[in-house]
Structure 1
Amino acid sequence: MNYTYRIYPNVVQQTELRSWLETCRGVYNYALRELKDWIASRKCSVDRCSLEKEYIIPADEPFPSYHRQQNNLPKAKKQFPHLGKVHSQVLQTTIRRLHDTWEAFQKRGHGFPRFKKFGQFKSFVFPQFKNNPINGFTIKLPKIGEVPINLHRPIPDGFKVKQVRVLSRVRGTQWYVVVTIESDISVPDVPVHGRAIGIDLGLQRFLTASDGSFQKRPQFFKSMQRKLKLLQRRAARKQKGSQNWEKAQIEVARMHHRIANRRKDFHLKTAHQLCDRAPTIFAEDLNVKGLTRGMLRTDCVDAAFGQFLSLTEWVCWKRGVYFAKVNPNGTSQTCPNCLATASKGLEVREHHCPECGYRTHRDRAAAEMVLHRGQENVVSQGLWGTETACQVGLSGVYDLDKWRGAGIPNRETGKPAL
């Protein structure tokens, strides 16, 4: 698990942390340059060379792997003494970060690693600690010293600190640490139990549940857009690179940081409210990247559906609530009462089935359809068998029987009642 805390380094420590980030950025770019040169030297034609330039790397030169570049760090420290000021394991994890990106690129086929510009490298990692670095209200970082920390929640008993990642936010004016803790205990998977609800995400209503409750969508970016535009206009009038320009850029970064914090706080509170409402939750498996490329991309990015689903899954796991995603295709075009197709455009906000006459709000009908698909998935996987005999009296079981067509006279699955 990861716990994020705010730290307050002094002026000397902040200067040292910024210097470390720039040193790590240089190591990252140098290692990436070696990687790209080796790849480019293997792309030339066999029978001729380019008229402009050609990479002269021997054919027997091995690939610059993680272990080779890591082993070259001691030699680089002799040539560049400023590398010795940074903790050795921090430089090793920087090389590891590059090769993790390279391996991810090879798997998905896109997203080649890019060079980091000034200010784009915002974190580094201390991969291991012999003792607990947190002592009271300070955290001891190697070669940095003790830094005050806002320990708003203590480390749970039985857990030990595995690694610490130092984060720079708001153009290096706010600092955080992400503490990774671990324990030898094994956490079993959460079984399907109790009352189940389905949720539908949208722009008019941020969240609509199958039980009829809904949550309005706060417009975090649009509500602060006027003030943000004013700050950006002030920053644009300053001479680029001056101290006043840097101060104006910090104000803009703080505003963006505040918007992101308000959005995340809303997502976490909404996720906890869902867990209080039902012990089994089904949601749509949305194509988040596709939503950010349409005509409503600004509103979709402001709503941050992907972040909400990730946080909801984490909160459900932490609180022992079963969470699963279902196929989102056609949830708003299918009647949840008789499973007949009921096509309608985006401007139609009411669901009216022409087959059975079922009327409800469009988003609630989609949420009920999500619940139906989630229950069908758990039935097909045999997960409902993990319940005890008390399941007979639990809320939501009747709905499961309804969808399966059991115990309801004069009705067949997928057809309206006569």
Structure 2
Amino acid sequence: MLLNYTYRIKPDQQQTQLLDEWLETLRVSYNYALRELKDWMASRKCPIDRCSLESEYIMSANYPFPSYHQQQNNLPKAKQEFPRLKSVPSQVLQTNIRRLHDAWDFFRQRGYGFPRFKKVGQVKSLLFPQFKTNPITGWQIQLPKLGKVEINLHRPVPDGFIVKQVRVVKKAMGWFVVITLYSDIEIPKPFPHGHAIGVDVGLLCYLATSDGFVEPGRKFFKTEHRRLKVLQRRLAKKQKRSKNYDQARRKVEKQHNHIAFKRKDYQFKLAHKLCAMADTIFVEDIDFRTMAKGFLGKHTIDAGFGQFRSILKFVGNKRGVFVGEVDHRGTSQTCPNCRITVKKELSDRIHYCPECHYEVDRDVAAAQEICNRGIETYPGTLEKQEIGSQVEVSGVMCLDNWRRGAMPNCEVGKPTM
């Protein structure tokens, strides 16, 4: 089992300067390795019977492909030629090359997203991949070639876990470490059980559940945009690469970090609230990157629905609540009571079924349909009386939801309160 704990560290002035030098060295080595990779491909993409219109760096035919192991084995020779590399721990340099080739492998799998050169300040993290002993001693953490660094250990390391690796991250708010903890303990994953609810997310209201709970919409970027706008205007007036420009840039970065921290804190609290409501939660399997390309893309990105779904799964796994995904197609266009299609526009905020006369808020109806699909997707794991409970809480008889398919319209009638 692996756990990631994030702590804030407070390196002194000398350690901060050393970390900044390491990050810049890693950036240069990353770009050098990427340049070698691109030169090897450019020297072999030109046909043998004609020359390229642009100048290309020619490599010999027997020069091997600069793979991860090839570039990693060249690091000792590079340290002799560039003594600057000796100041960085060797394993940190190796993981930096590993990062490049992970991006290269990812590009080959999906066909786009070729690795790019890193500009000054774009490399903001470094990884210490392994430790022989526990580096955390009291309120300090021991890092290779850096020494003991003060750490805010706001929560202790659980018993039975060892420190697997440590990643140091630089943010505008300060320095952080992401500690990966490992244990042989295998915790069983939660299964569908108990009370089940469906969750539908949106922009007008952040989410609605099948039980009728509605969380008001939160716009984190919009509420903080006025301050960000002022800081960006000040930044635009500064001379680039000057000290004043760098100070103004850090203030803009701090404001972005502040917005991101507020959003993440809110989503964690909301995830815990949902896990306290039910034992099983069903969400849509929608790709929110597609929603972000529409005319409401800015608000969709601000809401961070994809991040919230990941947080909800993490919190649910931690608290023993099952979180499953269901098909998202047509959830807002289906009546959760009689399961027929009821077309609605975006401006229609009330669901009214002309067939069974079921009326409820549009988002709540979509959440109830999500719950129905979740129970159908995971059959035999929930009690049968849980199936109709999502419509029952809104005043509809639960049996109508499942008997309607075998009953004529004249015998069903309007749902009673």
TM bucket (normalised to shorter chain) is over 0.9
> Which residue matches 1:412?
405
Change (3 A) 1:162 1:361: same
Aligned residues: 404
Which residue in 1 is equivalent to 2:191?
191
Structure 1 residues 320-359: aligned runs within 5 Å:
320-359=320-359
- TM-score scaled to structure 1, two decimals? 0.93
| CA displacement 1:194-251 (0-9 Å, x = unmatched) | 0000000000000100000011122111111111111111222222222222222111
Identity of aligned residues (%): 53
Aligned with residue 161 of structure 1, among 148, 160, 163? 163
User: How big is the shift at 1:327?
Assistant: 1.2
Task: Output the CA distance in 2 between the equivalents of 1:410 and 1:293.
Answer: 41
State how far apart, in whole Å, the 2-side matches of 1:332 and 1:401 are: 15
Q: Residue 26 of structure 1 aligns to which amino acid in structure 2?
A: V
CA shift for structure 1 position 51: 3.9
C-alpha displacement at 1:59, in angstroms? Answer: 2.0
- Once the two structures are superposed, residues 49-98 of structure 1 have per-residue CA deviations (whole angstroms, 9 ceiling, x without a partner) of 12432331122222111111000000000000010000000000001111
* Distance in 2 between residues matched to 1:149 and 1:415, nearest whole Å: 69
User: Residue 340 of structure 1 contacts residue 414 of structure 1 at CA under 8 Å; is this kept in 2?
Assistant: no
Are 1:338 and 1:414, in contact at CA under 8 Å, matched by a contact in 2? no
Give 1:132-151 correspondences, 5 Å limit. 132-151=134-153
Instruction: Give the corresponding residue for 2:25.
Output: 23
SS of structure 2 residue aligned to 1:257: helix
1:267-278 alignment runs, 5 A limit: 267-278=267-278
Counterpart pick for 1:112 among 111, 114, 118: 114
| Residue segments in structure 2 that go unaligned for 5+ positions in a row | 393-397
Tell whether 2:218 aligns with 1:218: yes
5 Å matches for 1:378-397? 378-379=378-379, 382=380, 384=381, 391=383, 396-397=386-387
Distance 1:409 1:352, change over 3 A: closer
Q: Distance in 1 between matches of 2:408 and 2:377?
A: 20
* Alpha carbons 2:338, 2:400 under 8 Å: kept: no
Partner of 1:10: 12
Aligned to 1:83: 85
Paired residue for 1:59? 61
The DSSP-based 3-state class of the residue aligned with 2:141 is strand
Amino acid at match of 1:364: V
Partner of 1:181: 181
Tell me the distance in 2 between the aligned counterparts of 1:414 and 1:167.
Answer: 62
CA contact (8 A) 1:198 1:371 kept: yes
After superposition, where does 1:41-52 map in structure 2 within 5 Å? 41-52=43-54
**What is the deviation of 1:174?**
0.8
- Superposed CA RMSD: 2.0
Question: Cα 1:400–1:308, aligned 2, differ >3 Å: closer, same or farther?
Answer: closer
What is the DSSP-based 3-state SS (H/G/I as helix, E as strand, rest coil) of the residue aligned with 2:404? coil
| 1:338–1:415 Cα contact (<8 Å) kept | no
